[in-house]
């Protein structure tokens, strides 16, 4: 008789594995939603590609910066801890900027943009190449020392580094 009662109760219970799977999906779904929201807010939808060069401008909603301000970004910049070079050119009022990245050979730039955020001149460069899928630079122009400083997220290692670039003389 004990066996029949236990069998009846087992049939009415929700299997533990079923509830565990549902609960463990909540943080994953929330994390995915947050990542998608951050990507939506950070990267614009309109993009143009430049097939012949190592650049890809992207549109960013930004406060209009005076023409002289965005022009300060133009040039070749070398990372102080190695031979990594960023080349920035052709910033537009809409937030487009052409970016090239070299280590020392060209690395494909997936997205690049600039913006004037709260009076700070910012540059974002996303790399899309072998060994660099989704690696990201977030840099701020430091006018008093003519440098770009910020972070580099190395996507393969999933590690962020503080970085600094100095302008190369022509």
| Strand extents, DSSP E, the chain | 75-79, 85-89, 98-102, 106-107, 109-117, 120-127, 136-142, 147-154, 159-167
76 and 35 in a common domain: no
In terms of domains, do 135 and 85 share one?
A: yes
Q: What percent of the chain has pLDDT over 90?
A: 56
In this structure, the answer to whether residues 150 and 88 fall within a common structural domain is yes
Block residue for tokens 């700070």: 120
| pLDDT per position as a tens digit, 44-98 | 433 333 333 344 434 343 444 455 689 999 999 999 999 999 999 999 999 999 9
Nearest to 97 by CA among 115, 78, 81: 115
Give 97 or 34, the one with higher predicted confidence: 97
What is the DSSP secondary structure assignment for residue 8, as one 8-state letter?
H
Same domain, residue pair 34 and 93: no
Total count of domains within the chain: 2
| Per-residue pLDDT at 56 | 40
Asked if 155 and 87 sit in the same domain, the reply is yes
> Does residue 61 lie in a domain region?
no
Residues 136 and 79 in one domain: yes
Residue-range definition of the domain harbouring residue 159: 67-167
Query: For the chain, how many residues are written?
Result: 170
Asked whether residue 33 is domain-assigned, the answer is: yes
**Same-domain check for residues 36 and 73:** no
Please indicate, yes or no, whether residues 84 and 137 belong to a single structural domain of this protein: yes
* Secondary structure class of 166 (helix, strand, coil): strand
């Amino acid at each position: 008789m004990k066996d029949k009662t236990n069998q009846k109760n087992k049939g009415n219970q929700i299997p533990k594995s079923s509830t565990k799977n549902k609960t463990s999906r909540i943080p994953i779904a929330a994390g995915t939603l947050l990542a998608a929201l951050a990507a939506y807010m950070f990267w614009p939808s309109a993009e143009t590609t430049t097939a012949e060069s190592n650049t890809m401008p992207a549109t960013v909603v930004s406060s209009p910066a005076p023409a002289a301000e965005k022009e300060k970004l133009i040039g070749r910049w070398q990372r102080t801890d190695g031979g990594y070079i960023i080349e920035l050119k052709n910033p537009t009022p809409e937030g487009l900027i052409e970016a090239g990245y070299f280590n020392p050979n060209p690395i494909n730039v997936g997205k690049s943009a600039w913006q004037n955020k709260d009076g700070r001149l910012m540059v974002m460069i996303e790399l899309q190449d072998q060994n660099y899928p989704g690696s990201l630079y977030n840099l701020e122009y430091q006018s008093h020392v003519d440098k770009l400083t910020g972070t580099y997220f190395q996507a393969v290692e999933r590690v962020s580094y503080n970085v600094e670039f100095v302008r190369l003389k022509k």
